[in-house]
């Protein structure tokens, strides 16, 4: 798949799922979300020039991000969010792995993703409040890993995500990200023993129920 095919696929996906959010004066599209997608190829160039994402293909990187987004949009909790919070979630889903190398565990990539995302978002007319919420979600998008291991607790999570909507976004994205690695990853990784999908859903909800 060449970059033009990727671009067409992405715009088709966004149109079908009504993901165009902001009207603005810059960019090919008349929406902020459209411009974020437009810069995916440029983002790859920037990150590759700095030695990041060298082994990550366009399709792998974008497919994972879109799977996270798709899972998030299908989560029943998504409909409880305000319109502004829905925008925060959508932008975060697309940008959360901008600092990750391909096909390897990249320690600290959440922090790198925040740095790269901030530099990109600074070029666009996005409200400061939304940008800061997005960056906080990106920087802390692996919070569930420590929570699931018992390293942090619900009170710690509440300090990271200060509003009810921010906590809801964090929970939606954690689940969406966890389930978008490969078809079996989340079933094996949650408890260390392979679960059925039904067992996984129940166990995940039991683990996360006190985060509110």
- 53-106, pLDDT tens digit by residue? 333 344 566 778 888 988 999 999 999 999 999 989 988 998 888 777 655 556
Rounded to two decimals, the pTM is: 0.76
Whether 196 shows a pLDDT value over 90: the answer reads: yes
Residue count (the chain): 212
Considering only 14-18, 122-126, 153-157, which range has the smallest mean pLDDT? Answer: 14-18
The Cα–Cα gap between 74 and 55 comes to: 30
* pLDDT the model gives residue 172: 97
Locate 41 and state its tokens: 């190829």
Residue 2 has pLDDT above 80, yes or no: no
- The region of weakest confidence among 21-25, 129-133, 151-155 is 21-25
Q: Do the beta carbons of residue 196 and residue 186 sit within 8 Å?
A: no
In the predicted model, what is the mean pLDDT of residues 186-191?
A: 93
- 3-state secondary structure labels for all residues of the chain: CCHHHHHHHHHHHHHHCCCCCCCCCCCCCCCHHHHHHHCHHHHHHHHHHCCCCCCCCHHHHHHHHHHHHHHHHHCHHHHHCCHHHHHHHHHHHHHCCCCCCCCCCCCCHHHHHHHHHHHHHCCCCCCHHHHHHHHHHHHCCCHHHHHHCCCCCHHHHHHHCCCHHHHHHHHHHHHHHHCCCCCCHHHHHCCCCCCCHHHHHHHHHHHHCCCC
What digits encode the pLDDT tens for the residues 94-110?
888 877 765 555 667 89
Q: CA 42, CA 81: separation in Å to the nearest integer?
A: 31
Does residue 165 have a pLDDT over 90?
A: yes
Chain-centre distance for alpha carbon 29: 22
d(CA 143, CA 132): 17
State the pLDDT confidence band at 22, using cuts at 50, 70 and 90.
very low
Q: What is the mean pLDDT of the chain?
A: 76
Top-confidence residue, 19 or 63 = 63
User: Is 60 exceeded by the pLDDT of residue 193?
Assistant: yes
Predicted confidence at residue 14, as pLDDT, reads 53
- Give just the sign of the alpha carbon dihedral 174, 155, 107, 149: negative
Give per-residue pLDDT as tens, 103-136.
Answer: 555 667 898 889 888 877 876 778 899 999 999 9
């Amino acid at each position: 798949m060449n970059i033009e095919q990727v671009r067409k696929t992405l715009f088709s996906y966004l149109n079908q799922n009504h993901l165009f959010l902001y009207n603005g004066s810059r960019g090919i599209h008349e929406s902020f979300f459209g411009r974020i997608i437009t810069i995916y190829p440029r983002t790859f160039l920037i990150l590759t020039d700095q030695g990041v994402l060298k082994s990550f293909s366009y399709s792998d990187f974008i497919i994972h991000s879109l799977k996270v987004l798709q899972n998030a949009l299908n989560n029943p909790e998504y409909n409880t969010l305000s319109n502004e919070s829905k925008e925060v979630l959508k932008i975060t889903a697309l940008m959360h792995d901008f600092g990750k190398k391909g096909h390897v565990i990249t320690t600290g990539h959440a922090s790198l993703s925040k740095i790269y995302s901030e530099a990109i978002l600074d070029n666009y007319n996005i409200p400061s409040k939304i940008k800061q919420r997005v960056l906080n979600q990106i920087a802390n998008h692996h919070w569930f890993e420590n929570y699931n291991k018992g390293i942090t607790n619900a009170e710690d999570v509440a300090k990271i995500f200060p509003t009810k909507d921010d906590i809801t976004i964090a929970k939606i994205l954690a689940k969406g990200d966890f389930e978008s690695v490969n078809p079996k990853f989340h079933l094996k990784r949650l408890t260390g023993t392979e679960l059925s999908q039904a067992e996984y859903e129940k166990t995940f909800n039991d683990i996360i129920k006190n985060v509110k």
